[in-house]
Structure 1
């Protein structure tokens, strides 16, 4: 399934008109842009890397994509390689909000501009820009819809993303802010499943054993949500359970269309991945990104069965 999804994503990315290629883009490269993502086995991060790479190439740069898979030591080595290879810019999805600060500092000390995407670091003034989804807005959007589907009552459980990623806490807090307004919604338990489908499946099994009468599952991302659905189906208890996701991955949209996943919250990763490269190019040419602020938020959108047919490209919902 993931290999098929990756092929479809790559084909869609190559056809997406992210940027108009300038005349000189076909001639000599303007330099190397190194793109470092988390784990391209996840369709979200695969799209992030491929969109950024395509955008860089269309602007006349050579581009490579590497992955740290959430490991700060690997991330640090990849930054060293980018420095050795004389990268003119680095697009980085940081491995750890605090642990990635040192890696960014190394690149900046080598006079290489760093543009962060998808996740933030706990220090401002290092990266030239931090482009992320508006996770609080997206979490509230999803939680409100999920509560309505639950009929504003019932026991539920939550699957939480990697604690090293600020997005996990932001989404969980966003869920809590909305759901705390409904006294008849009772949270029976939560588990950290680290954005991973297999872990989502396994943690859902544990949650089911401890809570046989749950009516809903709210998840910090699609992969964990899809893992939860697989566990519920295997146990024969899926019917009537409301499961919500977050990301807008192709697999999750297919699940929404099939009537299994109740909804997903679309992160506009294709938009901010391309924007990150554009800002890197602007900085290389002018010394400024052209953005008004370092931290930039991109609003999320809700995908339900009613509008899922409008989903026509990787992580893009046509309005």
Structure 2
């Protein structure tokens, strides 16, 4: 019996040793088996790294369209933003309406906000032809396409589209009518827009390419009012004091024209010819009231709508199907046709002569 018990004990010890040996052999196998799996996973993680970097700079990851414009106190820019936002929402986008106040630094901050929110696209009326290039490039580098309206920038290939009015053509229309109203003679003043705005220079060039052909027309003052109605009022007061015999004023936009007109009316000079540029509802109402004499209508509704439509097409297909630079002709607005336009677009059922109403 003792021998049997001893044999059982020996067998038990041997069995335990065997089990321990097996366990020791299996542990390295499990560790060794895990290592190849980890080594194989490493390349996959390396391949995934670029995707993570792309996610760090959000690019068209949302359904958001940013619409950034100059001060909306100017009805031109307010209408542009509202029309663009309405079209974007009609196409199913969320919209973020922002205002840069013609401040290039603020514009950059707003574009950075759009980048951070992973906007699908940016619709922009910019804050400076030169200063805007870097900001739009920043958006492009983040994978967010920009579609410019109204104002061009000084570099191509950064924005997807630059859709503008044919400012030169519109300026020549206004200048020709202005010269006709002036009888091709007399002293006049020019109010110009912001010096950083390409459109200000294009319009002024268009004016002078026409007016300089009339030797009896004399420009006695040329001064910026920075697109501002209040500033134009003060500038016009000073010009009127220096040149009380002035016969006409040609302005780079409607807002300045309205400011100049207000100063002239306050001085009792309703005989001075004043023309603007933009075709805002305020200017049209002034023309119909017999105050302003003319303006040129910028097709804001068409520009804003086209920018959104092209952004939508680009996001869906990778192409707008159009060149980057696109120009739309303008329309001369006079007392005869002023009632046929509203919100920078033709109204239904136009009449032949608004003065006959």
So what's the TM-score if we normalise by structure 2?
0.79
Deviation at residue 150 of structure 1 after TM alignment? 0.6
Deviation at residue 317 of structure 1 after TM alignment? 2.5
1:106 to 2:135 alignment: no
> 1:310 & 1:95 partners in 2: Cα distance?
31
1:201 to 2:230 alignment: no
Unaligned segments of structure 1, at least 5 residues? 1-28
Matches within 5 A, 1:163-178: 163-178=195-210
1:156 to 2:188 alignment: yes
Deviation at residue 81 of structure 1 after TM alignment? 0.4
1:277 to 2:308 alignment: yes
1:265-288 Cα distance to aligned partner (Å, 9 max, x none): 100011110000000001000111
Matches within 5 A, 1:18-167: 31-167=63-199
1:257 to 2:299 alignment: no
Aligned partners of 1:30 and 1:60 also within 8 Å? no
1:150-177 Cα distance to aligned partner (Å, 9 max, x none): 1111000000001111000000010000
In structure 2, the residue matched to 1:245 is 276
In structure 2, the residue matched to 1:183 is 215
1:234-271 Cα distance to aligned partner (Å, 9 max, x none): 11122x21100100111100000011100111000111
| Secondary structure, aligned partner of 1:189 | strand
> 2:196 & 2:216 partners in 1: Cα distance?
31
| Secondary structure, aligned partner of 1:100 | helix
1:268 to 2:299 alignment: yes
| Secondary structure, aligned partner of 2:92 | coil
Structure possessing the higher relative contact order (Cα contacts under 8 Å, 6 or more residues apart): 1
| Secondary structure, aligned partner of 1:204 | helix
| Secondary structure, aligned partner of 1:115 | strand
| Superposition RMSD in Å | 1.1
1:29-77 Cα distance to aligned partner (Å, 9 max, x none): 9700000001111100000100000000000100111000100110000
Aligned partners of 1:117 and 1:273 also within 8 Å? yes
> 1:181 & 1:165 partners in 2: Cα distance?
26
> 2:339 & 2:160 partners in 1: Cα distance?
37
In structure 2, the residue matched to 1:3 is none
In structure 2, the residue matched to 1:314 is 343
In the TM superposition, structure 1's runs of 4+ consecutive aligned residues that sit over 2 Å from their partners are none
So what's the TM-score if we normalise by structure 1?
0.89
| Secondary structure, aligned partner of 1:296 | strand
> 2:255 & 2:104 partners in 1: Cα distance?
22
> 1:225 & 1:317 partners in 2: Cα distance?
22
1:298 to 2:328 alignment: yes
Count of residue pairs the alignment pairs up:
288
Aligned partners of 2:62 and 2:118 also within 8 Å? no
Unaligned segments of structure 2, at least 5 residues? 1-60, 351-357
> 1:241 & 1:51 partners in 2: Cα distance?
35
